[in-house]
Amino acid sequence: MSRRPWFSLGFFVPLLAALTMVIAIACGGADATPAPTADEPATDAEVTPTAVATPTPTAEATATATPTPEAPSGPTGVLTTSFESMPVYQPHPRYRPAGFEEPTMVAHEGLFILDRDYQLQGNLVKDWSVAADNKTWTFELHDGIQFHGDWGPLTPEDVIYSTRELGADDGTCGCPQIQALFGSPEEDWQTDGFWEVINDTTIQLNSDPSGLVDLPYRMDFPSSNSGWIVSKTQWDSMAADGLSVDEALPQVVGTGPWELTELNLGEVWKFRAVENHWRHTPYFAELHLLTIPEEATALANFEAGRTDTWSAAPDSLSKVAELDTTKFMSLTDVGEMILYIWQNGYTFNGTDRQWPGYNPDLPWVSDDAEVGSAGWEQARKVREAMGLAIDRQKLVDELLHGNGAPGAIYGWQPLRSLWPDDWNWDYNPDRARELLAEAGYADGFEIVLSSATSRLVEVTRSACEAIAGMLQDVGIDARYENVPLGELYDGYKARTQQGITCQHINAFGGEPVSLHRISYDPELLWGVGWDHPWFTAKMVEAYETPDADARWALQFEMGDWLRDNALAMAVYSLDQIFPLGPNVDSWEEHLSMGEAQSISGLEYAPHRQ
């Protein structure tokens, strides 16, 4: 079954233009309050507001961006959307909650964005260039961008401070690669190190050559490893006033087109439009973000007109399509389901740094890191059997209702048109049984599957349970266990995890080598399944190769190796559909590939005419 034509976007990602990608989405507009139940649509309820700062400007712009005309009569009405969950409001880069950029991105901005065609566009940055040495970058900021709350204009010092805070050793990002690109916070942040202030609007970044490949991705927003720019002056002022971090965080201001006015955790966050915003003034006067954990409840709110849009799960789409007033926006390949088949080796096997989760007695784990050895081949056949046992097309058809596509290799989903045919996984349970017998497991073995995701939780759990059943069909005694997300992530960091984790992630922004280096580098703070000396060396080589043709050749070589060895296994990619209620019209052309199953470009959401 192919993707539904009424949702299809149809896009092409050029081979050498795939510098970045992330994902974000849509919203619509009516008054809203705390989350209702599925049986009882939302009713007005009192909430205790938490007062917050005041408004000001931000940018959309590349040098080529075309501004959208502002509402002639000024912002009016309320735009309302919902999220499955929203974190504590922590917009400071050092403390930002990983994976939850979306709710705060309406009030904050970063240096770059990725448009819906996966092209890097300047946001706070007006223009940028890289020197002939392939490591000296110059960034020119828009002039006159103001922070909310009278905290003054955006300065190069704010950029340097924010990027270094993101890569701090004790930061929540856990991103040492950020530090490698932007320099250590222990340096004199104003003049020394990698950053240099040229003038009031110009900064230069003297990056290590190894940062060339994904440097722009690290600076886009929102993304899995980057963030927004905050005011160093404000943060220093709050520290001088004796505010604790917890007291200061909700007050951190941004430069975005919406300014936070009320913060009711677990219920609703409220924002007001920043008039005369330097980039684009919203069409709606207010924005309300609701917390609605249950999909059935989110659907009931939309049907009752309490919310204008949300990131609908696949099962909800046919229901809202029955409403005469519903319109749709969509993005393709916004996320993917991958399998972490945990081996927790092989780089440090036999040393005092051997990962605690490494256990060569498990059938899918090799007792020998030498590719092609008897131990490696035995474990490889087991992993290949697992891959062949999964009916990916059935999962797309039945769980995603056709709004997705079968996967192959983690990190390559949006580059589908570039895959060699032999990367695809055929559904072949008979061959899976033969491979298990060849590996010495004709009678099967036991394995536990768990799922990890902060969104599309039910879909991911259902897919993981279905995969467990498919493994059972070829003789593997697989069972699904619901493990708390925090417990799973602790295992990622400690490298104690075993079994299989079904992980739903947002589509990645950048070339595959960037994602793979984050995931499989044995020197980083966590790993997602395995590491291997051959692959690590190849990653470093590709990462430090400035010539695009040569770098992509290395990445295809790495892709062949991953597929041949049944590693970095993807299950499917999915499309995100955004239903729009009667109060709001489409702004699909302004959606960005940031945090894809969420809402982006809300300032461009127009009133329905």
User: Which two structure tokens, joined as six digits, stand for 422?
Assistant: 């032999």
Q: What pLDDT shows up at residue 286?
A: 98
Phi, psi values for residue 575, rounded to 5°: -100, 150
Continuous segment of H or E residues that includes residue 70? none
pTM of the model: 0.74
Q: What pLDDT shows up at residue 120?
A: 79
> Which residue numbers in the chain have pLDDT < 70?
1-72, 97-104, 171-193, 208-214, 216-218, 220-227, 454-455, 509, 594-597
Contacts of residue 276, Cβ cutoff 8 Å, sequence gap at least 6? 57
Could you count the other beta carbons within 10 Å of the beta carbon of residue 524? 16
Q: Where are the alpha helices (DSSP H) in 215-325?
A: 215-218, 232-240, 245-248, 295-303, 314-321
**If you write DSSP's letter for every residue of 11-62 in order, what string do you get?**
----STT-----B----B-----S---SSS----------B-----------
Rounded distance, CA 375 to CA 358, Å?
14
Continuous segment of H or E residues that includes residue 206? strand 202-206
Reported as half-sphere exposure (CB side, CA atoms, 13 A), residue 298 has a value of 25
Nearest residue to 128 (alpha-carbon basis) of 50, 203, 75: 203
Phi, psi values for residue 586, rounded to 5°: -70, 145
Could you count the other beta carbons within 10 Å of the beta carbon of residue 527? 26
Nearest residue to 303 (alpha-carbon basis) of 588, 38, 607: 38
Q: What pLDDT shows up at residue 52?
A: 36
* DSSP tag of 324: T
Q: What pLDDT shows up at residue 97?
A: 66
Q: What pLDDT shows up at residue 37?
A: 38
Contacts of residue 199, Cβ cutoff 8 Å, sequence gap at least 6? none
- Segment 360-388, tens digit of pLDDT: 999 999 999 999 999 999 999 999 999 99
Nearest residue to 325 (alpha-carbon basis) of 581, 608, 28: 581
Could you count the other beta carbons within 10 Å of the beta carbon of residue 330? 22
* DSSP tag of 104: H
